[in-house]
């Protein structure tokens, strides 16, 4: 261990060194996501902007793919970060894990370059293999899919083998099973069928069963570690909650899949199944909020990393509002008939992804920053009263809420004019799209996006400097107090 306050890999164990690489790429791709989001947003206001140079379809693809990849990198980093400490054993196959990091990262860079260099072309098998598969969020061509699957298997091997050789914990057990499901589901987004209903049917297995089942559980595991590590919450309490949340999550989330089967040509019974089970989905999210408040209360907010705690609380609240409340709003078929595919959906999509997942990854960035500087003080009384992390958090949230609300207003307007008044006609679509309320909402989304960008810049600055020159060791949190 080097002196306190100095950023050094000597402060980290093997898994944590690898985690830092994942976190670095994750943070950079977060920036790329914002950049392409802002370009796509500008094209709503100025449709000719960059037309033929970087088309809207390309910006949008890069925006949502960068999102999925930076979150996955953040999760993988989070898992590698906790692995040795949780299993009390050095990572099995770390060399292979390191190799896979470089393979995966090279593949990501190539895929991004190909998206930018080959923007239009024929819809042939060679395009699916080499250029773009055309399935939203997971557009990566098939060669990359195969590479991603192999990388995931290595990642799974690292986690599984380390827990097998080391200590078994509840968090470890849930994590291993969940990663298996997460990697297995990816395969359903890989095969090709010319029938669009069938294609969508399977594609949702990846998208929905990732974000509303396996990702939630993964985040549950790493946040459980976060609570134990930063606040000293007793393992038994955390793991009991984890089991309850996982049971509720899978109980509602798996058949909740039906809320995507209302209008794609699937049988009518999905109305009932999808409506009923997805309406239950907010319940585990409420449990998570109760859990977080309970722990924070019992420990009187005493913890060793204030920014990480701030983002943990933000995660519980963001997950509840973004996924639970904003998801519930449009999940009944009677309502979804009017809101389906409008900006209402985008409003929910933004708040849910940010609230449930970006927050968790940012919390881990702070945990890593603390550890890399030799486990320094990061509780109250930070230099300058910790203004940077607080303003970064405030600006990111103000930006996100601004975007979400603007999109919600646009979504209301579309549901009313395009669907209710004009009866979902082609003309109705344009009437809604050209209405001043829609255009104003797009302006507000863009302005909020700039605020979000400022928050991101401040976040990066803070992560690079927090704890620099700090001489106090981290606050000690006693375990086993409740």
In the complex, which residues of this chain contact Fe ion (CB under 5 A)? 208, 212
434 by Cβ neighbours in 10 Å (0-12 / 13-18 / 19+) ranks as exposed
State how far the Cα of 292 lies from the Cα of 285, in Å rounded to an integer: 11
| 468 and 5 Cβ atoms separated by less than 8 Å | yes
Angle (nearest 5°) at CA 404 between 401 and 406? 105
User: Which one of ligand HEM, Fe ion, none interacts with residue 358, CB within 5 to 8 A by kind?
Assistant: ligand HEM
Q: How far is the CB of 300 from ligand HEM (least distance, A)?
A: 29
User: Which one of ligand HEM, Fe ion, none interacts with residue 63, CB within 5 to 8 A by kind?
Assistant: ligand HEM
User: Which one of ligand HEM, Fe ion, none interacts with residue 210, CB within 5 to 8 A by kind?
Assistant: none
Show the tokens assigned to 259.
């809320």
Q: How far is the CB of 83 from ligand HEM (least distance, A)?
A: 24
User: Which one of ligand HEM, Fe ion, none interacts with residue 111, CB within 5 to 8 A by kind?
Assistant: none
| 323 and 281 Cβ atoms separated by less than 8 Å | yes
Residue of this chain nearest to ligand HEM (CB atom): 327
Q: How far is the CB of 215 from Fe ion (least distance, A)?
A: 11
**Between 212 and 295, CB nearer to Fe ion:** 212
Q: How far is the CB of 411 from ligand HEM (least distance, A)?
A: 9
| 312 and 292 Cβ atoms separated by less than 8 Å | yes
User: Which one of Fe ion, ligand HEM, none interacts with residue 245, CB within 5 to 8 A by kind?
Assistant: none
Q: How far is the CB of 37 from ligand HEM (least distance, A)?
A: 3
User: Which one of Fe ion, ligand HEM, none interacts with residue 356, CB within 5 to 8 A by kind?
Assistant: ligand HEM
**Between 41 and 327, CB nearer to Fe ion:** 327
State how far the Cα of 223 lies from the Cα of 242, in Å rounded to an integer: 10
Q: How far is the CB of 416 from ligand HEM (least distance, A)?
A: 16
**Between 379 and 414, CB nearer to ligand HEM:** 414
State how far the Cα of 78 lies from the Cα of 52, in Å rounded to an integer: 39
By the criterion CB under 6 A, which residues form the site for ligand HEM? 34, 37-38, 40-41, 44, 60, 63-64, 67, 136, 211-212, 259-260, 278, 281-282, 323-324, 327-328, 330-331, 336, 340-341, 345-346, 348-350, 352-354, 356, 358, 449, 452-453
Of the CA atoms within 13 Å of residue 230, those in its CB half-sphere come to 34
Residue of this chain nearest to Fe ion (CB atom): 208
State how far the Cα of 388 lies from the Cα of 464, in Å rounded to an integer: 11
State how far the Cα of 193 lies from the Cα of 198, in Å rounded to an integer: 7
Q: How far is the CB of 260 from Fe ion (least distance, A)?
A: 6
Q: Is the sign of the CA dihedral 20, 106, 456, 461 positive or negative?
A: positive
**b/e code 180-213 from CB counts within 10 Å (16+ = b):** bebbebbeebbeeeeeeeebbbebbbbbbbbbbb
**Between 70 and 80, CB nearer to ligand HEM:** 70
Angle (nearest 5°) at CA 183 between 180 and 216? 80
Q: How far is the CB of 271 from ligand HEM (least distance, A)?
A: 12
User: Which one of ligand HEM, Fe ion, none interacts with residue 388, CB within 5 to 8 A by kind?
Assistant: none
| 291 and 244 Cβ atoms separated by less than 8 Å | no
**Between 382 and 400, CB nearer to ligand HEM:** 400
User: Which one of Fe ion, ligand HEM, none interacts with residue 373, CB within 5 to 8 A by kind?
Assistant: none
Q: How far is the CB of 355 from ligand HEM (least distance, A)?
A: 7
State how far the Cα of 364 lies from the Cα of 309, in Å rounded to an integer: 10
User: Which one of Fe ion, ligand HEM, none interacts with residue 299, CB within 5 to 8 A by kind?
Assistant: none
């Amino acid at each position: 261990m080097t002196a306190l306050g100095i950023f050094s890999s000597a402060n980290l164990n093997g898994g944590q060194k690898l985690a830092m690489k994942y976190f670095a790429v994750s943070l950079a791709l977060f920036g790329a996501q914002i950049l392409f989001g802002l370009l796509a947003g500008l094209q709503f206001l100025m449709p000719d902007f960059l037309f033929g140079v970087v088309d809207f379809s390309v910006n949008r693809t890069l925006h949502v793919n960068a999102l999925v990849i930076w979150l996955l990198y953040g999760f993988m980093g989070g898992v590698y970060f906790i692995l040795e400490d949780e299993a009390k054993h050095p990572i099995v196959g770390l060399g292979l894990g390191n190799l896979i990091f470089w393979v995966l990262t090279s593949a990501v860079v190539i895929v991004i370059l190909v998206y930018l260099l080959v923007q239009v072309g024929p819809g042939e098998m060679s395009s699916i293999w080499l250029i773009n598969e055309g399935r939203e969020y997971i557009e990566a061509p098939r060669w990359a899919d195969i590479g991603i699957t192999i990388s995931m298997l290595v990642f799974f091997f690292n986690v599984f083998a380390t827990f097998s050789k080391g200590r078994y914990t509840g968090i470890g057990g849930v994590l291993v099973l969940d990663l298996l499901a997460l990697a297995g589901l990816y395969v359903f987004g890989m095969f090709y069928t010319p029938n669009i209903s069938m294609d969508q049917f399977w594609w949702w297995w990846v998208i929905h069963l990732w974000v509303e089942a396996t990702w939630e559980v993964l985040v549950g595991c790493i946040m459980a570690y976060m609570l134990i590590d930063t606040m000293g919450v007793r393992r038994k309490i955390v793991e009991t909650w984890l089991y309850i949340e996982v049971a509720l999550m899978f109980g509602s989330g798996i058949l909740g899949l039906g809320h995507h089967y209302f209008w794609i040509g699937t049988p009518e019974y999905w109305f009932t199944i999808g409506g009923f089970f997805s309406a239950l989905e907010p319940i585990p999210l409420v449990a998570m909020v109760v859990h977080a408040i309970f722990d924070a209360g019992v420990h009187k907010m005493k913890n060793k990393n204030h920014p990480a705690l701030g983002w943990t609380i933000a995660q519980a609240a963001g997950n509840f509002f973004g996924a639970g409340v904003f998801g519930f709003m449009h999940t009944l078929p009677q309502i979804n008939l009017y809101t389906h595919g409008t900006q209402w959906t985008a409003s929910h999509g933004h708040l849910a992804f940010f609230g449930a997942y970006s927050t968790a990854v940012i919390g881990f960035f702070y945990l890593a920053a603390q550890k890399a500087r030799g486990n320094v003080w990061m509780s109250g009384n930070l230099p300058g009263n910790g203004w940077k992390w607080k303003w970064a958090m405030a600006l990111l949230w103000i930006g996100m809420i601004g975007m979400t609300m603007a999109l919600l207003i646009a979504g209301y307007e579309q549901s009313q004019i395009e669907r209710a008044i004009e009866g979902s006609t082609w003309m109705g679509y344009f009437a809604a799209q050209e209405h001043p309320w829609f255009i104003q909402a797009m302006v507000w989304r863009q302005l909020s996006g700039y605020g979000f960008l400022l928050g991101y810049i401040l976040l990066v600055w803070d992560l690079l400097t927090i704890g620099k020159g700090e001489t106090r060791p981290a606050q000690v949190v006693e375990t086993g107090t409740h």
